[in-house]
Amino acid sequence: MWRKKICVIVGGAKGRGSSLVEEYAGRKYHIAFMDIDKDCGKRLKEKMEREYGKKVFFFHGDADSEEDLELFAGAVIGQYRRVDCLYYREDIAENAKGIEGLLRDYLKNDGCIESFC
């Protein structure tokens, strides 16, 4: 049975984050990403949905905010119930690593967790 794969990216609207969004969307993953830049996030979401025909979840929030991270993690859990890959930008948001703890119980055993710049 085929199952969908989920990639979660914190800091995914621009730069390396947007490259990860595009890479995993191209690999047929369902994407959930969070970024503080609302306009770039919305544009990337719309672009990925047009190009790959899959719904993309964008959450506008600040990765340095515990509350925003908790809201994002809760939305990911509620919508997908699992995570196959998790990436976060620790270089620009010191608290971004907190997403690891919030989603750890939902990460597949062979899933990847990485910070990126």
Domain assignment present for 1: no
Query: Which residues span the domain enclosing 75?
Result: 6-115
Q: Would you state the pLDDT for residue 9?
A: 96
Angle between helices 38-52 and 15-26 (to 10 degrees): 20
Q: Contact 54/48 with Cβ under 8 angstroms?
A: yes
Domain assignment present for 34: yes
The predicted model gives 3-12 an average pLDDT of 92
Closest C-alpha among 76, 48, 83, 49 to residue 61: 76
Domain assignment present for 48: yes
Separation CA 38–CA 93 (nearest Å): 16
The predicted model gives 84-91 an average pLDDT of 89
CATH number at residue 45: 3.40.50.720
Separation CA 102–CA 21 (nearest Å): 20
CB atoms within 10 A of CB 94: 10
Amino acid at residue number 33: F
44-74 tens-digit pLDDT: 999 999 999 989 999 999 999 999 999 999 9
Q: How many residues does the chain have?
A: 117
Query: CA angle at residue 106 from 54 to 75, to 5 degrees?
Result: 55
Structural domains counted in the chain:
1
92-115 tens-digit pLDDT: 777 888 999 999 899 987 678 887
Domain assignment present for 107: yes
Domain assignment present for 37: yes
Q: Which residues contact 73 (CB under 8 A, 6 or more apart)?
A: 99, 102, 103
